[in-house]
Amino acid sequence: MSALDPVRIGVVSISDRASSGVYEDKGIPALQDWLGRAVKNPIEWHTRLIPDEQDGISATLRELVDEVHCHLVLTTGGTGPAPRDVTPEATLAVADKVMPGFGEQMRQISLAFVPTAILSRQVAVVRGQALIINLPGQPKSIAETLQGLPTRTPPVHGIFAAVPYCVDLIGGPYIETDPEVCAAFRPKSAQRPPAGA
Ligand SMILES: Nc1ncnc2c1ncn2[C@@H]1O[C@H](COP(=O)(O)OP(=O)(O)OP(=O)(O)O)[C@@H](O)[C@H]1O
Ligand SMILES: Nc1nc2c(c(=O)[nH]1)N[C@H]1C(S)=C(S)[C@@H](COP(=O)(O)O)O[C@H]1N2
């Protein structure tokens, strides 16, 4: 049995076309693939595939945090400037605290991949004891923004490195990561010996 705390993760794919069956959703599998490789804790998944409707997105986020008690919720899609892109508004509507550094850093990272990085209005917020993070809709953008390009000179740090300590600070489980995928950063005073050591 793992000595690591279980972590409840909500993954929400927001796409009119994927949710209505026009194309197959690749957002949820891409999120589960990357997080499953990065996070060493046992994960309890809660997945949702929904259209770009602001009230429905906010309701899904509230449900995942307030009723399911997710520690972390990642969304993909609906962050751009198009009329139906409303994920940031829906996320800000459920915020207790806005965490601007995540959006700023993700746009910066994404510039290493696409010149259109600045078109994403993605945000991150804290609601209760959960961290909610928006990612763009392109499935490849999930690994790009979470992982960055750590082996490049100079390295481009992905945002997930800061997620475990943020979850500590809001009262969630102690998340350990696989450093081969993403090395979590915590101040020395907040570090625990690795589970099983
Ligand atoms: N959930 C998804 N599954 C698979 N591919 C996706 C998904 N979301 C976006 N994409 C791909 O990324 C491209 C850019 O995303 P775009 O911003 O147009 O979609 P969206 O606003 O997230 O979804 P939609 O327009 O269906 O509501 C899409 O044309 C599609 O190829
Ligand atoms: N890392 C990364 N960021 C990215 C992209 C990408 O392919 N990779 N696509 C950009 C594009 S083209 C758009 S329009 C915006 C918003 O995408 P969304 O509306 O699908 O969320 O994200 C941007 N950020």
> 137: CA distance to ligand 1 center in Å?
5
Lowest mean pLDDT among 76-90, 129-143, 145-159: 145-159
ipTM for this prediction: 0.95
Specify the pLDDT at position 194.
83
Arithmetic mean of pLDDT over the chain: 96
Specify the pLDDT at position 60.
99
Specify the pLDDT at position 195.
78
- Taking 3-state DSSP, the helix, strand and coil percentages for the chain, each rounded to the nearest 5, stand at 40, 20, 45
Specify the pLDDT at position 107.
97
E-assigned strand segments in the chain: 7-14, 43-50, 72-76, 97-98, 124-127, 130-135, 148-149, 156-157
For residue 108, name the pLDDT band (cuts at 50, 70, 90).
very high
With a 6 A CB cut-off, is 13 part of the ligand 2 pocket?
no
With a 6 A CB cut-off, is 139 part of the ligand 1 pocket?
yes
Average pLDDT over residues 126-130: 98
Nearest CA owner, ligand 1 atom 17:
137
With a 6 A CB cut-off, is 15 part of the ligand 2 pocket?
no
Give the HSE-up count for residue 167: Cα atoms under 13 Å, Cβ half-sphere.
Answer: 26
> 134: CA distance to ligand 2 center in Å?
11
- pTM reported for the whole predicted model: 0.97
Share above pLDDT 70 across residues of the chain, in percent, rounded to a whole number = 98
Average pLDDT over residues 143-167: 95
DSSP state of 159: G
> 195: CA distance to ligand 1 center in Å?
38
Average pLDDT over residues 65-90: 98
- Give the nearest ligand 2 atom to 87 CA: 21
32 to 52, 134, 135, 192, 194: CA distances (angstroms): 21, 15, 13, 26, 23
How far is Cα 29 from Cα 100, in angstroms, rounded to an integer? 27
pLDDT in tens, 7-49: 999 999 999 999 999 999 999 999 999 999 999 999 999 999 9
For residue 197, name the pLDDT band (cuts at 50, 70, 90).
low
Query: Which residue, 26, 104, 72, is CA-closest to 169?
Result: 72
What are the structural domains, with CATH classification, of the chain? 7-190 (3.40.980.10)
